[in-house]
Structure 1
Amino acid sequence: MWHAKLSLGFEKQINRTILKHRKHNGPLRVQKALWPEATGVCHVIIVHPPAGFAGGDELSIEVSVGQDSHALITTPGAGKWYASTGQTARQAIELQVADNAILEWLPQETMLFNQAIAESQTTIHLATSAAFIGWDILVIGRQSRAEKFDTGQYHNQLNLWQNGQLLVKDQLAFKGNDRWLSSPLGINQQAVSGAFYAVPPQVCRDEANLDEHINILRNLMSRMKVPVHLTRLGYAVIARYLGNDTRQCLDAFSGLRAKCRREWFGLDEELPRIWKT
């Protein structure tokens, strides 16, 4: 059993964001901090050497993004919830973003093995003028083995707050062989389920701007011909993918991110370099 914790703090210094605070306990750490963009966005890669969560593991990630800074956090590969003999694996993620700061939370997909017992909770606190782009992609069963989730249980919750107001609350809970996995009212035997979340900067939150932006994103998904549906909760933009192709989901969400970056921040797409290796 692994008990691991990672705490990160970002701060704006002169013309770039730096990783000012970094503390870890156990096998969870930063592989590298990079500055591939002229604007000084700090790209950070988080690694968990065991590559996944076994029963009894407890992992915690805390991130603080200081005022006026811009951080991008990703992972080098897929995460995994391994089969358990009865103990629960748990993950807790807490993200704090200060005024006029931007956080891009872009982990690669997480695979749910048959017999896994998993709990994950993500809490995002945004200051009034903070902006956020992030996603969560779940792959149920190992597709290469045509594995189904016959035994085990999974519980995932995400709460996104801004200035003390709850903008988004997502919760997903199911057990092995749950009817929800096969029902047309559930995921209808699809293996890949993804959610994309974006909160624009304060200057882009008027109704006309948001409606135009949603239409731009919908047109993009239509041209890409992917099973992604977009909606708006207040000024938060939500997209959901349901299908069987992890790469298709990642590409679609990356396209949405690129459009949001361009429209809201005037930035190029600039994919994390680790994705290209």
Structure 2
Amino acid sequence: MNNLSGQLSLHFTPKREKTRLVNCKQVPPLKAGRALYLDDSNKATVYLVETSGGMVSGDDNQVDVTLDEGSHVCLIPQSALKIYPSTSDRASTLKTTVEVGKNAVLEWLPETTIPFQDAIFHSETNVSLTSESTFFYGEILSSGREKSNESFRYKRVKTAMKIYVDGVCQCFDSTNLNWSEVAPQQIGFFEMASYLGSVWYFSPETDHINLQELLSSFEKSKNHRVGAATLDGGLIHFRWLSNDLCLVKKEMELLRESL
């Protein structure tokens, strides 16, 4: 079977009082819908589609998103990303590059990455912001297909998130999970949870955010926990450890609406 090398390049700029998708390069299986305007603002909402149904060993996807000054964009993945079993030592790879200009706003809503048994998945996300950008990015990593008794049965999952503000690296967050070497339930990984969720948020107004007040509105239990940390430069990282995927998504959406 031939491997797929998907490409999706999206370029947004303000025109005629709306944010317009002025350039869209699509190489299957990656696609994007047309820009939708769901309210009275200039915000463009675009759905992201992976048409193959999932990534197999050796597949390599590249996503590039550029927002010019003054743009406002909301990106919504249409479905969860499935990572199928690796038939060799070749990984399924996803590389994402984001550039958000001055006074631009990017909201990237979360979906779930689901590694199947024996899957190998590597992802890298590089984000460039200015001190006057606003950025909301959510992601959820599943332990696997629970109903198929495949939790933590993947071979390897590696992720890396790098965020630069005015050319200075404010964040390098890396996860490296190897079923044969690491017990994902241990402290610092999934612990006893099935889902690891993250939201990265940056804006010129982060100094005015009351984290304790925000966190107090979220549910807390043995099977659902959320915390937050402010990094140098004003970047805020929210993280969930939970066994309730629907609740994680609900709280991420509530967070987006309240920020």
Sort the TM-score into its range (normalised by shorter chain): over 0.9
Q: Contact conserved, 1:149 with 1:177, CA < 8 A, in 2? A: no
Deviates more, 1:26-35 or 1:85-94: 26-35
CA shift for structure 1 position 103: 0.5
> What's the secondary structure of 1:141's corresponding residue?
coil
Runs of 4+ with >6 A deviation: none
Give the direction of change, closer, same or farther, for the CA distance of 1:115–1:132 in structure 2 (3 Å limit): same
Asked whether 1:142 is paired with 2:140, we answer no
> What's the secondary structure of 1:248's corresponding residue?
helix
1:123-148 deviation line (CA, Å, top 9, x unaligned): 01002211100111000110222322
Asked whether 1:256 is paired with 2:255, we answer yes
Give the direction of change, closer, same or farther, for the CA distance of 1:97–1:185 in structure 2 (3 Å limit): closer
Aligned AA for 1:244? Answer: N
Match of 2:84 among 82, 85, 89: 82
Deviates more, 1:57-66 or 1:80-89: 80-89
Summarize the alignment of residues 145-224 of structure 1 with structure 2, pairs less than 5 Å apart: 145-200=148-203, 202=204, 204-206=205-207, 209-210=208-209, 212=210, 214-222=211-219
Distance 2:135 2:231 in 1: 14
Summarize the alignment of residues 206-245 of structure 1 with structure 2, pairs less than 5 Å apart: 206=207, 209-210=208-209, 212=210, 214-222=211-219, 226-234=224-232, 235-245=234-244
Distance 1:83 1:131 in 2: 37
Match of 2:96 among 83, 86, 93: 93
> If each structure's helix is expressed as a fraction of its own residues, which one has the higher value?
1
Give the direction of change, closer, same or farther, for the CA distance of 1:146–1:248 in structure 2 (3 Å limit): farther
The number of equivalent residue pairs is: 254
Q: Contact conserved, 2:185 with 2:192, CA < 8 A, in 1? A: yes
Q: Cα RMSD (Å) of the superposition?
A: 1.8
Aligned AA for 1:144? Answer: K
1:203-262 deviation line (CA, Å, top 9, x unaligned): x144xx13x3x13311222589951111211311111001112111111111111111xx
Percent identity over the alignment is: 24
Residue 269 of structure 1 aligns with which residue?
none
Q: Contact conserved, 1:224 with 1:252, CA < 8 A, in 2? A: no
Match of 1:16 among 8, 15, 18: 18
Distance 1:48 1:185 in 2: 31
Aligned AA for 1:169? Answer: F
Match of 1:49 among 31, 47, 51: 51
